[in-house]
């Protein structure tokens, strides 16, 4: 995979619905988690692309829903030839995703699994 830098990352959209007032503290809540990525290389700056990550969380048993869209602006040394799997497999992007997941966890008054845990369960 070609070398790149994360120029910028930000939250494009965040929707959260949780009604947790009547839940017991420390309770384990089963969650369905899905994520996907898309690459947008239609950029005016040479050797740069946008990597969008869609992260969705919901609970069947509890009124919890979270939808997050994160954007990573990536600058490559040469014309990028990467796949979504390449980007999800990159340690720097994984660390950034984990940072976002920790921030999102605060809104749910609990802990979301790390990106590595999600990838392991996906196998």
- What CATH number does the domain containing 64 carry? 3.10.420.10
CA separation for the pair 85, 87 (Å, rounded): 5
pLDDT of residue 59: 86
CB 37 within 8 A of CB 53: yes
pLDDT of residue 49: 93
Reference 97, options 72, 120, 119, 115; nearest CA is 115
Helix (H/G/I), strand (E/B), else coil: 27: coil
| Host domain of residue 94 | 4-20+29-122
Helix (H/G/I), strand (E/B), else coil: 65: strand
pLDDT of residue 50: 94
One digit per residue, the tens of pLDDT, for the chain of length 123 reads 789 999 999 999 999 887 766 666 667 778 888 999 999 877 678 889 999 999 999 988 888 889 999 999 999 998 888 999 999 999 999 999 999 998 888 877 677 877 777 777 766
Considering its fold, how many domains does the chain have in total? 1
Q: Two tokens at 106?
A: 């605060």
Helix (H/G/I), strand (E/B), else coil: 113: coil
pLDDT of residue 97: 94
pLDDT of residue 22: 63
């Amino acid at each position: 995979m070609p070398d790149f830098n994360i120029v910028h990352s930000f939250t494009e959209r965040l929707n959260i619905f949780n009604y947790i007032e009547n839940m017991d503290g420390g309770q384990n809540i089963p969650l369905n988690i899905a994520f996907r990525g898309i690459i947008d290389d239609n950029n005016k700056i040479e050797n740069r692309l946008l990597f969008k990550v869609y992260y969705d969380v919901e609970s069947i048993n509890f009124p919890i829903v979270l939808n997050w869209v994160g954007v990573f602006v990536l600058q490559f040394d040469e014309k990028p030839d990467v796949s979504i799997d390449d980007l999800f497999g990159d340690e720097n992007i994984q660390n950034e995703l984990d940072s976002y997941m920790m921030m999102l966890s605060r809104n749910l008054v609990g802990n979301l699994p790390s990106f590595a845990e999600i990838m392991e369960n996906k196998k």
